Amino acid sequence: MTGLQAELEAAFRKLPVAPPDDGNIPYEWVIPGIGRQLALMKPVDCKVASPDAAKRKLGALKKHAKILCEDMSAMTGTRPTRITPPRGGKAHGLFSTSSQQHTGF
The pLDDT score that the predictor gives to residue 93 is 55
Quick one: how far is CA 29 from the chain centroid?
A: 23
Give average pLDDT by consecutive 10-residue segment, the chain, 105 residues: 83 81 77 84 79 90 87 75 63 52 47
The pLDDT score that the predictor gives to residue 81 is 63
pTM check: above 0.75: no
Quick one: how far is CA 102 from the chain centroid?
A: 24
Residue 42 gets the label, from left (phi > 0), alpha (psi -120 to 50) or beta, of beta
